[in-house]
Amino acid sequence: MPEVRLLPDDIRIEAVPGSTISEAANKAGIGIAHPCGGRGTCGRCTVFVEGTPVLACNTPASQSSVYIPEAVRLAGQAILTDIRMYDSKSNRQPRAERVTVTLDPPTLLDPASDAERLCDALSMRYGAGVRIEASCLPDLPGSLRADGYRISPVIVHEDDGVSVLSFQRGPLYGVAADIGTTTIVVALCDLETGYVLDTVAVPNPQAEYGADIITRIVYTEETPSGARTLQDSILTALSECIVTLSERAGIGPERIPIMTVAGNTVMCHFLLGIPADYLRREPYVPAARIYPAARASELGLPLLPCGRVMILPSVASYIGGDITAGAIALDLAAKDGINIFADVGTNGEMVLSGPGFMTACSCSVGPAFEGSGISCGSRAVRGAIDNVYCREDRLIYDTIGEQEEEPKSVCGSGLISLLSALLQKGVIDRSGRFTTPENYFTLAPDVTITQADVSNLIRAKAAVYAGMSVLVKQLDMSLSDIDRVYVAGGFGRGINIEYAVNIGMLPPLPDDRFRYAGNTALAGALRVLCDRTVDAGETAASITNIELSIGNEFMEEFTKACFLPHTELSFF
């Protein structure tokens, strides 16, 4: 396979023969915008192969260096729009499409109505029940006769048949959304080519009512129509994102007959205005795990009014549609060997897959890796230390932004590397206790890590490791049996696997068994949009949730993992 070198990132990637530069770049997590849907007509995806300008969408990836200017990259924060796990080639059978049928003209002896005539023809083709939306019936008689009983309806394939949505002409687009607790990412996709035209990422405005989901649930419990307020908040943000994407692409809402949404269970509840009170109380039951397909008009979203909004089903209260989407994006059910897919935030969600099974669990990691509850912690902002390593006897660090700046804090990846370095240097022992008399360590004038910080970090990393341990032990396996670990999300990209293994957060497996997977929620939502052979309900139903609060197994594994790297050193 040709190895493509992507510049200025200096990423080397093996391209599938016959794939385009766009596709190769996407696999490396560099999304390229395609305003024309990858048809090679707009010239906006111009990149440089050995200095020569070419269109990324229709130039085969070959053994060469490709310079990808910032201007052609998908908008939004790069990590959030990293849809490397979405392959536009999966766009064989988009969920909504325009089909052309030619009907026999009616006669006095065969006076079936226009609608029956169309339904019969579509039923013959799809072998399924066909409905016509009431709202598009007014356009049927004229459309049918405009071209001699040849008609090209826009249809959507649903679980229980086919629905005719419109008789509008022109290309069709789909919208996929990843509704995260912190950030919303929305992608506009050409349903015919499968190319992502554009993306947009905005903060989730629900943050106004609480930074984390528990605070937001409490808000809805304490505030009259609180769930409605949170629904309005997210719908307004989604609408703005869709309008932005539509305006930039120059298309009207009538061209967008479908949207898919992936989010955690609480976000999906709030999207429909459903209170999520009982998710946070034993036995942790969601109001709904499967969400009825809604019409865009019901939610007030600026799509085709009768267009469908499909919310990917959850597995359980704490294994949401974002994880279902991840399993779909990674094609976990079909993958060879034993795989773990981990999405780590304040919750750690993990899916273990192998021949014929998928199990999942969710554990509370806490906000330590997001910098909360750590005296020197912060998010990955300018002036935060994001990497620490030992050089000879000293600890060296990298700071986000200008190196001359004095560091102010340490972000998640920095904290993991700091913990690893402190252990390596002997400043802390395997139990995390400082071996020095002062019980803290000053990395830079304003950056000090305390005993409490170290303990918090150890608990956080132990939760991740213990979750994985329980999953494999439930199936009488060991972590060494794992062939591949897929790390998803913004957190996964920043961390250095070596350090995460050093502190016993990730299992000690060879480097090549780890894969960074990007935004798997968005990639999965895109896949569902563009490939109707994917049955998200079936995927969710085939994942068995392991409830960690039942029994002592998790607590035992957690306790054992509260050492650096672990109490059982034989594996490390």
| Contact residues: a copy of itself, CB under 8 A | 106-116, 129, 131-135, 137-138, 140-142, 145, 160, 227-228, 272-275, 277-278, 282-292, 294, 297-298, 314, 316-317, 545, 547, 549-550
Residue 61: which residues within 8 A CB-CB, separation 6 or more? 2, 4, 15, 19, 20, 21, 23, 24
CB of 145 to a copy of itself, least distance (A): 8
The nearer residue to a copy of itself, 309 or 522, going by C-beta atoms, is 309
- Residue 64 has which token pair? 């060469």
Residue 514: which residues within 8 A CB-CB, separation 6 or more? 484, 485, 487, 497, 506
CB of 111 to a copy of itself, least distance (A): 5
Packing angle, helices 226-249 and 213-222, rounded to 10: 120
The residue to which tokens 């704490």 are assigned: 318
CB of 226 to a copy of itself, least distance (A): 11
The nearer residue to a copy of itself, 157 or 289, going by C-beta atoms, is 289
The nearer residue to a copy of itself, 401 or 551, going by C-beta atoms, is 551
The nearer residue to a copy of itself, 317 or 420, going by C-beta atoms, is 317
Distance CA(399)–CA(412), nearest Å, equals 12
Q: Which amino acid is at 6?
A: L
Q: What is the DSSP letter of 337?
A: S
CB of 279 to a copy of itself, least distance (A): 9
What distances in angstroms separate CA 471 from CA 350, 363, 544, 545, 562, one per listed residue? Answer: 8, 11, 10, 10, 18
CB of 266 to a copy of itself, least distance (A): 13
CB of 107 to a copy of itself, least distance (A): 5
CB of 115 to a copy of itself, least distance (A): 4
CB of 225 to a copy of itself, least distance (A): 9
Residue-by-residue DSSP string for 463-526: HHHHHHHHHHHHTT--GGG--EEEEEHHHHHHS-HHHHHHTTSS----GGGEEEEE-HHHHHHH
The nearer residue to a copy of itself, 291 or 558, going by C-beta atoms, is 291
Q: Which string of b and e fits 22-42 if b means at least 16 CB within 10 Å?
A: bbbbbbbbbbbbbbbbbbeeb
The nearer residue to a copy of itself, 305 or 354, going by C-beta atoms, is 305
CB of 187 to a copy of itself, least distance (A): 23
CA angle 175, 176, 181 (to 5 degrees): 130
CB of 365 to a copy of itself, least distance (A): 21
CB of 43 to a copy of itself, least distance (A): 39
Smallest CA-to-CA distance from 86 within 543, 542, 529, 537 is with 529
CB of 32 to a copy of itself, least distance (A): 36
The nearer residue to a copy of itself, 209 or 563, going by C-beta atoms, is 209
CB of 269 to a copy of itself, least distance (A): 8
CB of 294 to a copy of itself, least distance (A): 5
The nearer residue to a copy of itself, 143 or 181, going by C-beta atoms, is 143
The nearer residue to a copy of itself, 100 or 107, going by C-beta atoms, is 107
The nearer residue to a copy of itself, 204 or 545, going by C-beta atoms, is 545
CB of 286 to a copy of itself, least distance (A): 4
Distance CA(10)–CA(20), nearest Å, equals 18
Residue 278: which residues within 8 A CB-CB, separation 6 or more? 284, 285, 286, 287
Contact between 325 and 262 (Cβ < 8 Å): yes
Distance CA(479)–CA(475), nearest Å, equals 11
Contact between 129 and 162 (Cβ < 8 Å): yes
Smallest CA-to-CA distance from 540 within 266, 342, 313 is with 313
Residue 384: which residues within 8 A CB-CB, separation 6 or more? 371, 378, 399, 400, 407, 408, 409, 410, 411, 414
The nearer residue to a copy of itself, 67 or 284, going by C-beta atoms, is 284
The nearer residue to a copy of itself, 102 or 431, going by C-beta atoms, is 102
The nearer residue to a copy of itself, 43 or 129, going by C-beta atoms, is 129
Distance CA(13)–CA(6), nearest Å, equals 8
- Residue 329 has which token pair? 């994006």
Residue 171 C-beta-side C-alpha neighbours within 13 Å: 20
Contact between 216 and 267 (Cβ < 8 Å): no
Q: Which long-range contacts (CB under 8 A, 24 or more apart) does 239-243 make?
A: 239/300, 239/301, 239/302, 240/202, 241/177, 241/184, 241/186, 241/200, 241/202, 242/175, 242/186, 242/301, 242/302, 242/303, 243/302
The nearer residue to a copy of itself, 71 or 108, going by C-beta atoms, is 108
Contact between 432 and 368 (Cβ < 8 Å): no
What distances in angstroms separate CA 221 from CA 234, 265, 274, 282, one per listed residue? Answer: 18, 17, 11, 16
The nearer residue to a copy of itself, 2 or 106, going by C-beta atoms, is 106
Q: What is the DSSP letter of 164?
A: E
